[in-house]
Amino acid sequence: MLQIKNLTKIYDGGVKALDNVSFEVPDGQFLAVIGLSGSGKSTLLRCINRLIEPTEGQIIWNGEDITAASQDEMRRIRRKIGMVFQHFNLVHRSKVITNVLAGRLGYVNPAWSLLNRFPKEDIEKALQQLKRVGIAEKAYQRADELSGGQQQRVGIARALMQDPKMVLADEPVASLDPVLAHSIMTHLEDINKNDGVSVLCSLHFLDLVHRYADRVVALNEGKLVFEGLPKDIDDKKFKEIYGRDAERVG
Amino acid sequence: MKNNKKASPWNSIKVGLFSLLAMVIFAYGFQITKVNLEELRSENRQESLVRVTRALAKPEIFEYEQVEEIVNFPIYVPCPTDGSQAPVPEHNATEPYIVLTPSCVNPGEIIEVEGFNFAPFTVGPLRFIPGSDVTNVVSLGRENAETDADGHFLVSMKIPDRTSDDVQYIRATLRRNVGSPHFTQTARDTWNKIVETVFLALLATVFGTVLAIPLSFIAARNLMKTVKSPLTSISLSVLGWPIGILIGFIAVRWVGNLSASIGSNAWVNLASILLSPILAWIGLRWALPQEEINRPSQTVRLERLGVILLVVLVSFYGLFQLASLAMSAGKNLEASLGSFSFLGYFLFQVGDIVAIITPALGALAAGGTLSSFLGRLGQQGSERLPVSGIKILNLILTTVAGATVLGLVGQLVEWLYQIGEPMYTLWGPMAVGAGLGLLLAILSKPKESLPIGMVIYSITRTFLNALRSVEALVMAIVFVIAVGIGPFAGVMALGLHTIVSLAKLYSEQVESILAGPLEAIEATGANRLQTIIYAVIPQIVPPYISYTMYRWDINVRMSTIIGFVGGGGIGFLLQQNINLLNYRAASAQMLAIAIVVATMDYISSALREKVI
pLDDT tens digit sequence for B267-310: 888 888 888 889 888 888 888 777 777 777 778 888 888 888 88
Residues B177 and B83 in one domain: yes
Q: Best interface-test mutation with A: which of B290, B308, B379, B546 has the largest number of A CBs within 10 A?
A: B290
Confidence of residue B509 (pLDDT cuts 50, 70, 90): very high
Give CA–CA dist B321/B542, Å, rounded: 37
Residue in A81, A85, A105 nearest the CB of B530: A105
Q: Which residues contact B482 (CB under 8 A, 6 or more apart)?
A: B489, B492
Asked whether residue B80 is assigned to any structural domain, the reply reads: yes
| B529 at interface of A, judged by CB pairs closer than 8 A | yes
Architecture category of domain A1-80+164-250 in CATH:
3-Layer(aba) Sandwich (3.40)
**A166 vs chain B: nearest CA distance in angstroms?**
12
- Domain stop point among B151, B183, B215: B183
Give CA–CA dist A171/A36, Å, rounded: 12
Domain residue ranges of chain A, discontinuous segments joined by + = 1-80+164-250, 90-163
Burial class (CB in 10 A: 0-12, 13-18, 19+), B414: middle
Instruction: Tell me how many domains chain B contains.
Output: 2
Question: Which pLDDT score is estimated for B6?
Answer: 63
Residues 82-121 of B with CB under 8 A from A: none
Q: What is the mean pLDDT of chain B?
A: 86
Cα dihedral angle (B135, B137, B143, B147), rounded to 10 degrees?
A: 50
- Domain stop point among B160, B183, B206: B183
Residues B468 and B559 in one domain: yes
The SS3 call for residue A177 is coil
Instruction: Pick the closest to residue B214 from B535, B590, B532 (CA basis).
Output: B532
The SS3 call for residue B506 is helix
The reply to whether residue B379 touches residue A49, judged by beta carbons under 8 angstroms, is no
Question: pLDDT for A37-69, tens place per residue?
Answer: 889 999 999 999 999 999 999 999 999 999 988
Residue in B290, B522, B535 nearest the CB of A108: B290
Q: Best interface-test mutation with B: which of A66, A80, A89, A97 has the largest number of B CBs within 10 A?
A: A89
**B487 vs chain A: nearest CA distance in angstroms?**
35
Q: What is the mean pLDDT of chain A?
A: 90
Asked whether residue B178 is assigned to any structural domain, the reply reads: yes
The reply to whether residue B520 touches residue A102, judged by beta carbons under 8 angstroms, is yes
The SS3 call for residue B124 is strand
The reply to whether residue B516 touches residue A89, judged by beta carbons under 8 angstroms, is yes
Asked whether residue B73 is assigned to any structural domain, the reply reads: yes
Residue in B292, B380, B520 nearest the CB of A70: B380
The reply to whether residue B290 touches residue A51, judged by beta carbons under 8 angstroms, is no
Residue in B284, B520, B534 nearest the CB of A85: B520
Residues B503 and B606 in one domain: yes
B-chain residue closest to A118, CA distance? B290
Q: Best interface-test mutation with B: which of A91, A129, A165 has the largest number of B CBs within 10 A?
A: A91
Residue A204 near residue A174, CB atoms below 8 Å: yes
Gyration radius (Cα) of chain B, Å: 38
Amino acid present at B94:
T
Residue with more model confidence, A236 or B17: B17
Domain of B81 in residue numbering reads as 67-183
Q: Which residues of A touch B521 (CB under 8 A)?
A: 91, 102, 105
- Domain stop point among B183, B216, B240: B183
Question: pLDDT for B466-494, tens place per residue?
Answer: 999 998 899 999 889 888 888 889 999 99
The reply to whether residue A117 touches residue B290, judged by beta carbons under 8 angstroms, is yes
Question: Which pLDDT score is estimated for B1?
Answer: 45
Asked whether residue B267 is assigned to any structural domain, the reply reads: no
Question: pLDDT for B12-28, tens place per residue?
Answer: 999 999 999 999 999 99
Asked whether residue B444 is assigned to any structural domain, the reply reads: no
The reply to whether residue B525 touches residue A91, judged by beta carbons under 8 angstroms, is no
Residues B580 and B461 in one domain: yes
Residue with more model confidence, B418 or A217: A217
Residues B489 and B607 in one domain: yes
Question: Which pLDDT score is estimated for A27?
Answer: 93
CATH number for the domain including B100? Answer: 2.60.40
Q: Which residues contact B524 (CB under 8 A, 6 or more apart)?
A: A78, A79, A82, A83, A102, A103, A104, A105, A106, A158, A161, A162
Q: Which residues contact B136 (CB under 8 A, 6 or more apart)?
A: B129, B130
A-chain residue closest to B541, CA distance? A93
Residues B556 and B588 in one domain: yes
Give CA–CA dist B508/B512, Å, rounded: 6
The reply to whether residue B288 touches residue A94, judged by beta carbons under 8 angstroms, is no
Tabulate helix, strand, coil % of chain B (nearest 5).
70, 10, 20
Interstrand relation of A2-10 and A16-25 (parallel, antiparallel or unpaired): antiparallel
Q: Which residues of B touch A110 (CB under 8 A)?
A: 527, 529-530
Average pLDDT for B337-356: 83
Question: pLDDT for B352-392, tens place per residue?
Answer: 888 888 888 889 889 988 998 888 888 888 888 888 888 88
Residue B523 near residue A49, CB atoms below 8 Å: yes
